[in-house]
């Protein structure tokens, strides 16, 4: 199929074209940047909702129920599962099972697993790109499910407009077992399996932690890509800090659910709607989406540099020649890196080497 024909079919919302485009983008096949570029102007309409939490917290069950709820509202839903323990990705399900078959057979639902992707290009960058494809195709809601343990997974959670953190009383220690930073990313907390012992204590722990957190604003979030906003753009940093220390700013609710009994799902949807309204009202949605675009460009820049350097056989061969002296300790990785960059300006610019 020609690339024009593929774009045409994609724009006509043909499901086969969607699957094809996602696959090209996900695997960085030839032409993926052109395709992403051509659909870029159609992105920015979907609401991106992240679900994260420790393995066994019931994220997938909640995801399936959220899909059903949004479908009942007539919304089209895309699911991106970046969690190896998710049944969406063929993994084991540690909690009780909600039947996924209905969800999977509904044409208004598209499910994509990214659990088996390698590190090539970065998981967060790849997730953002697949999300862009689904957004451009016309899905109204994107649910991004990720396990809240690893660093890359935390970066994925950061790509959403709203992030739901699912916790369970079983692991009363579950707050501590989460990757540092996961708590800070959450806009909505859900204590799942809330009919089990320890649920109240967990709720208390979370609320205590949220009390401590007050006053920590968006402007204090860890810098991405090493960019300190306050330094490079003080005006914007101040604007964002003002938006988030506003007394009407968002206070994350701590909800209860028993997903296996389908209890608490409507409350999660209502909280998501309230959060989205807050994001729009406060200007935070616009700020987050602009930040996401900035991340997108920076990701593309870094990937282009890596591709241009490491797919050049002369550069790789040159590096290979230097390794024995690095091994012997007569050269250091830093000196070799400096030399490599001094001679690679044309490559980085995207030109042929002279």
Report 109-138 residues binding a copy of itself (CB under 8 A). Answer: 115-121, 123
**Residue 120 contacts residue 303 (beta carbons within 8 Å):** no
**Whole-angstrom distance, CA of residue 100 vs CA of residue 94:** 15
- The smaller minimum CB distance to a copy of itself, of residues 121 and 252, is found at 121
Site for a copy of itself contains 354 (CB under 8 A): no
Taking CB under 8 A as the criterion, the residue among 29, 97, 311, 353 binding a copy of itself is: 311
- The smaller minimum CB distance to a copy of itself, of residues 228 and 273, is found at 228
At which residue do the structure tokens 């001679």 appear? Answer: 343
Closest by CA position to 190, among listed 201, 206, 179: 206
Site for a copy of itself contains 97 (CB under 8 A): no
In the region spanning residues 134 to 163, those forming contacts with a copy of itself, defined by CB under 8 A, are 147, 149-155
Tokens matching residue 63: 């995801």
Site for a copy of itself contains 307 (CB under 8 A): yes
In the three-class reduction of DSSP (H, G, I as helix; E, B as strand; rest coil), residue 342 is classed as helix
Give min distance, CB of 196 to a copy of itself, in A.
17
At which residue do the structure tokens 């009994």 appear? Answer: 261
* Distance (Å) of CA 103 to CA 15, 46, 71, 269: 16, 19, 9, 17
In the region spanning residues 261 to 290, those forming contacts with a copy of itself, defined by CB under 8 A, are 289-290
Start-to-end Cα distance in the chain:
36
Tokens matching residue 298: 């920076």
Q: Determine the interface stretch with a copy of itself among 41-49, 72-80, 187-195, 248-256 (rule: CB under 8 A).
A: 41-49
Taking CB under 8 A as the criterion, the residue among 50, 53, 55, 169 binding a copy of itself is: 55
- The smaller minimum CB distance to a copy of itself, of residues 58 and 264, is found at 58
Number of residues that bind a copy of itself (CB under 8 A): 93
* Distance (Å) of CA 6 to CA 61, 136, 287: 34, 14, 33
In the region spanning residues 230 to 249, those forming contacts with a copy of itself, defined by CB under 8 A, are 231-233, 236
At which residue do the structure tokens 């729009």 appear? Answer: 280
- The smaller minimum CB distance to a copy of itself, of residues 73 and 343, is found at 343
Taking CB under 8 A as the criterion, the residue among 29, 201, 213, 225 binding a copy of itself is: 225
What residues have CB less than 8 Å from 21, skipping those under 6 apart? 6, 10, 35, 39, 133, 137
Site for a copy of itself contains 216 (CB under 8 A): no
309 burial level (CB within 10 Å; 0-12, 13-18, 19+): middle
Give min distance, CB of 156 to a copy of itself, in A.
9
- The smaller minimum CB distance to a copy of itself, of residues 193 and 292, is found at 292
Site for a copy of itself contains 326 (CB under 8 A): yes
């Amino acid at each position: 199929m020609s690339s024009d024909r593929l774009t045409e079919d994609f724009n006509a919302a043909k499901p086969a074209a969607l699957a094809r485009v996602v696959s090209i983008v996900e695997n960085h096949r030839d032409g993926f940047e052109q395709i992403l570029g051509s659909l870029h102007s159609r992105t920015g309409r979907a609401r991106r909702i992240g679900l994260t939490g420790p393995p066994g917290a019931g994220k997938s069950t909640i995801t399936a129920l959220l899909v059903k709820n949004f479908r009942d509202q007539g919304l089209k839903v895309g699911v991106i599962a970046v969690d190896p323990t998710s049944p969406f990705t063929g993994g084991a399900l540690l909690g009780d099972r909600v039947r996924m078959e209905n969800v999977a057979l509904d044409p208004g639902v598209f499910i994509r697993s990214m659990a088996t992707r390698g590190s090539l290009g970065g998981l967060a960058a790849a997730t953002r790109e697949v999300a862009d494809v689904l957004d451009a195709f016309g899905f109204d809601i994107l649910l991004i499910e990720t396990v809240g343990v690893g660093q890359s997974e935390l970066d994925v959670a950061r790509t959403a407009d709203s992030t739901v953190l699912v916790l369970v009383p079983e692991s009363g220690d579950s707050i501590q077992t989460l990757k540092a930073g996961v708590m800070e990313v959450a806009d909505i907390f859900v204590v799942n399996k809330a009919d089990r012992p320890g649920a109240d204590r967990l709720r208390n722990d979370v609320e205590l932690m949220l009390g401590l957190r007050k006053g920590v604003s968006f402007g204090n979030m860890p810098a991405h890509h090493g960019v300190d906003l306050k330094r490079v753009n003080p005006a914007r940093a101040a604007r964002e800090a003002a938006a988030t220390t506003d007394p009407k700013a968002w206070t994350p609710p701590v909800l209860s659910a028993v997903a296996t009994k389908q209890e608490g799902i409507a409350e999660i949807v209502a909280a998501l709607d309230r959060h989205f309204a807050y994001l729009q009202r406060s200007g935070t949605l616009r700020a987050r989406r602009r930040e996401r675009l900035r991340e997108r460009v920076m990701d593309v820049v870094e990937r282009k540099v890596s591709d241009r350097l490491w797919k050049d056989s002369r550069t790789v061969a040159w590096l290979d020649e230097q390794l024995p002296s690095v091994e012997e300790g007569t050269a250091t990785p830093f000196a070799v890196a400096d030399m490599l960059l001094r001679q690679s300006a044309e490559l980085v610019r995207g030109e042929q080497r002279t």
